[in-house]
């Protein structure tokens, strides 16, 4: 059931501007919606249910940053097929036929919740498969999709760092407007995750928060999302590498039941472009390693 190359060709995409204005990179790792046929045949769920794990249309929301002079990257494969915002081998042994590699992380909280590198569930803990899948299939997804994605993202990010002496990665995601519990209050419109100040200097988070608040949005920091694998492992402020996760409330731009744009989509896309400009206006000297070390 490994991903046929002709169905996921290309499996991800990098879109670069003609002229790069600054060291800012936008990434959408969970907006992929190309579902391989063999995966759909193996799943007990229909496509609308599987799509609950997507960050639907986030790649479209950020597409305008390229015109402004900043590169973007997006996945075409779906998150429930392989999740690049996890460790490479966060795998649940209960899912597979065959033995996992000895170095697999089988005990993380994300694995326990069914949301490892190869997910066991989507949505409200709905099981994707009705039987175990071959372990070789999971390893093939990791080798053919996960690893190339990260090689390309790392190359793009470090390339900006070489050119400018610093780089900022904005890892873009979306969240349901609520978690499904009747007593839960509505979520903020944006949640910024900087791993509690460890994945970027405070200035980066402050610029993002102030820009979004200035545009009229409600913003939370690190609650309920502090940043995932990408934010944690790409952010290294002491080296001039800054990563921040941006979670966008889906009610802002889409009908969560019909998977359609709402009338506010264009305005939010314009506001994301404005955010890119504000990040690009940060003096690069403020982002370089000696500034981070001094904080």
Residue 292 is predicted with a pLDDT of 47
Count of beta carbons in the 10 Å neighbourhood of residue 260: 11
Give the containing element (helix H, strand E) for 124.
none
User: Smallest Cα–Cα separation from 119: which of 189, 49, 199?
Assistant: 49
The pTM for the full model equals 0.94
- Residue 243 β-bridge partners: 169
Each residue's pLDDT, cut to its tens digit, for the chain (295 residues) gives 545 455 788 999 999 999 999 999 999 999 999 999 999 999 999 999 999 999 999 999 999 999 999 999 999 999 999 999 999 999 999 999 999 999 999 999 999 999 999 999 998 889 999 999 999 999 999 999 999 999 999 999 999 999 999 999 999 999 999 765 554 667 899 999 999 999 999 999 999 999 999 999 999 999 999 999 999 999 999 999 999 999 999 999 999 999 999 999 999 999 999 999 999 999 999 999 865 444 5
Residues 165 and 156 sit within 8 Å (Cβ to Cβ): no
Cis peptide before 10 (omega within 30 of 0): yes
- Residue 28 β-bridge partners: 74
Structural domain spans, the chain: 12-84+157-294
| Full 3-state SS string of the chain | CCCCCCCCCCCEEEECCCCCCCCEEEEECCCCCCCCHHHHHHECCCHHHHHHHCCCCHHHHCCHHHHCCCCEEEECCCCCCCCCCCCCCECCHHHEECCCCCCCECCCHHHHCCCCCCCCEECCCEECECCCEEHHHHHHHHHHHHHHHHHHHHHHHHHHHHHHCCEEEEEEEEECCCCCCCCCCCCCCEEEECCCCCCCCHHHHHHHHHHHHHCCCCEEECCCCCCCHHHHHHCEHHHCEEEEEEEEEHHHCEECCCCEECCCHHHHHHHHHHHHHHHHCCCHHHHCHHHHHHC
Residue 1 is predicted with a pLDDT of 53
Count of beta carbons in the 10 Å neighbourhood of residue 67: 11
Sheet order of strands, 72-75 included: 12-15, 72-75, 24-28, 167-175, 241-249, 190-193, 219-221
Residue 123 is predicted with a pLDDT of 82
Q: Domain 12-84+157-294 is in which class?
A: alpha beta
């Amino acid at each position: 059931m490994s991903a046929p190359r002709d169905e996921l060709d290309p499996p991800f995409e990098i879109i670069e501007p003609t002229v790069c204005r600054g060291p800012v990179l936008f990434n959408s790792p969970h907006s992929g919606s190309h579902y391989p046929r063999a995966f759909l045949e193996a799943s007990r769920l229909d496509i609308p249910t599987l799509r609950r794990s997507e960050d639907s249309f986030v790649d479209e929301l950020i597409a305008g940053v390229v015109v402004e002079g900043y590169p973007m990257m997006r996945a075409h494969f779906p998150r429930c097929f392989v999740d690049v915002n996890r460790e490479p081998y966060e795998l649940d042994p209960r899912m597979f036929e065959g033995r996992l590699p000895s170095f697999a992380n089988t005990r993380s909280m994300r694995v326990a919740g069914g949301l490892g590198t190869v997910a066991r569930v989507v949505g409200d803990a709905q099981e994707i498969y009705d039987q175990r899948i071959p372990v070789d299939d999971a390893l093939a997804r990791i080798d053919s999709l996960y690893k190339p994605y990260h090689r390309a993202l790392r190359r793009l990010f470090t390339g900006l760092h070489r050119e400018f002496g610093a780089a900022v990665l904005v890892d873009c995601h979306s969240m349901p407007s609520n978690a499904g519990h009747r007593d839960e209050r509505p979520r903020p419109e944006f949640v910024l995750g900087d791993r509690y100040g460890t994945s970027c200097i405070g200035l980066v988070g402050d610029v993002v928060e102030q820009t979004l608040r200035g545009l009229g949005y409600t913003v939370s920091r690190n609650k309920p999302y502090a940043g995932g694998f990408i934010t944690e492992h790409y952010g290294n402020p002491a080296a001039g590498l800054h990563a921040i996760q941006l979670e966008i409330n889906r009610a802002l731009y889409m009908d969560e039941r019909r998977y359609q744009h709402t009338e506010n989509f264009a305005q939010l896309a314009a506001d994301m472009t404005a955010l890119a400009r504000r990040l690009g206006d940060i003096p690069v000297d403020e982002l370089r390693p000696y500034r981070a070390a001094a904080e």
